[in-house]
């Protein structure tokens, strides 16, 4: 898949150091989950979403139909009917932005409409049609960038042992933990408060907000031909969001572990002595449409949490 989700500027604050609203000593934070069980904490991060497909050989016909070579699929590259995209040719000074009218069931054929020419500075130059013919069969690189806005988001999360397999199922009530958001871009610059993603709420110890920050210019496309030279036609194809989650690290134990606790033996889930924070980001064009999902996972940063028996 061509989707890229980058998680950066990750900050963990604690009630103990930063106060009840996490607004004190804001330079005092950790870049990983750090603290004691039962601590109230805040997680804040920047998430960038983009989708960039380096196309192989393909054919254009009728100025509006793109057929990929055998084995390639627009669906596998996270493009969808009703989306917006741009096709930039390595050897053409004009690139083309358009609406995606349809994609075949096998993902090999895309039909587009409302084609607009875009020059090497990224500025529109007027209506156009796609250049007919076979492209990319000589090894040149042509790039399709997704320009579709994402209004919906589902964030699944969990706190698991550092050496555990990533899962978002709560050990407390066996439900998939997460928050869902609608209208994130529309609400900007106001953060949207997430709705708990299940009727069972035993695992929900806090809340989460999502805010659309803005569209960020990409680095353009490296062109060998045309008047633009290298790294031309930058487009605002990167969507940037801020995610904030408040939570309490639950110090629960499971049935049958009480005797171990009395003997200062950590609960089963804490064999590694520390938990890490894992999140799955599922961005959608609209919350109600799962056919437009783009996924990314944050699960590689180890935590440092303390289990201290009484």
Residue written as tokens 């996490």? 22
Spatial contact of 54 and 270, defined as CB atoms under 8 Å apart: no
Whole-model pTM: value is 0.90
Q: Where in the chain is the domain with CATH 2.30.30?
A: 51-146
pLDDT at residue 289 in the model: 95
pLDDT band for position 232 (50/70/90)?
confident
Residues of the chain with CATH 2.70.50: 7-47+150-214+227-306
Alpha-carbon torsion 7, 9, 15, 16, what sign? positive
Q: What is the pLDDT of residues 98-150, one digit of tens each?
A: 999 999 999 999 999 999 999 888 889 988 899 999 998 877 779 999 999 99
Q: Residue 15 and residue 280: Cα distance in Å, rounded?
A: 25
Q: How many residues does the chain have?
A: 310
Residues with Cβ within 8 Å of 230's Cβ and at least 6 positions away in sequence, in order, are 222, 223, 224
pLDDT of residue 230: 60
Question: Which residues partner with 180 through β-bridges?
Answer: 154, 195
Residue 11's DSSP bridge partners are 44
CATH code that applies to domain 7-47+150-214+227-306: 2.70.50
pLDDT, average across residues 182-193: 97
Mean pLDDT across the chain: 89
User: Is residue 225 very low, low, confident or very high in pLDDT (cuts 50, 70, 90)?
Assistant: very low
Q: What is the CATH number of domain 51-146?
A: 2.30.30
H-run or E-run covering 36: strand 34-36
Residue 272 has pLDDT above 60, yes or no: no
């Amino acid at each position: 898949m061509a989707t890229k989700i980058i998680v950066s500027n990750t900050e963990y604050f604690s009630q103990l150091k930063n106060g009840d609203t996490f607004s004190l000593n804001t330079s005092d934070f950790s870049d990983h989950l750090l603290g004691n069980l039962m601590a109230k904490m805040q997680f804040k991060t920047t998430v960038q979403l983009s989708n960039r497909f380096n196309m192989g050989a393909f054919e254009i016909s009728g100025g509006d139909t793109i057929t990929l070579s055998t084995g390639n699929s627009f669906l596998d590259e996270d493009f969808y009917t009703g989306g917006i995209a741009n096709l930039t040719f390595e050897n053409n000074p004009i690139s083309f932005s358009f609406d995606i009218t349809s994609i075949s069931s096998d993902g090999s054929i895309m039909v587009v409409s409302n084609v607009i020419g875009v020059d090497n500075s990224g500025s529109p130059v007027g209506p156009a049609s796609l250049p007919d013919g076979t492209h990319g069969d000589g090894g040149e690189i042509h790039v399709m960038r997704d320009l579709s806005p994402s209004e919906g988001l589902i964030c699944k999360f969990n706190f698991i042992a550092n050496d555990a397999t990533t899962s978002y199922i709560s050990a407390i009530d066996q439900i998939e933990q997460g928050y869902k958001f609608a209208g994130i871009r529309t609400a900007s610059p106001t953060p949207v408060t997430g709705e708990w993603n299940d009727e069972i709420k035993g695992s929900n110890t806090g809340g989460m907000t999502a805010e659309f920050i803005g569209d960020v210019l990409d680095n353009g496309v490296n062109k060998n031909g045309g008047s633009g030279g290298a790294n031309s036609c930058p487009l605002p194809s990167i969507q940037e969001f801020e995610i904030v989650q408040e939570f309490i690290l639950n110090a629960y134990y499971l049935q049958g572990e009480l005797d171990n606790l009395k003997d200062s033996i950590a609960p089963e889930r804490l064999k590694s002595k520390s938990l890490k924070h894992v999140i799955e980001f599922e961005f959608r064009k609209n919350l109600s449409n799962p056919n437009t999902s783009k996924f990314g996972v944050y699960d590689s940063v180890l935590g440092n949490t303390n289990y201290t028996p009484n």
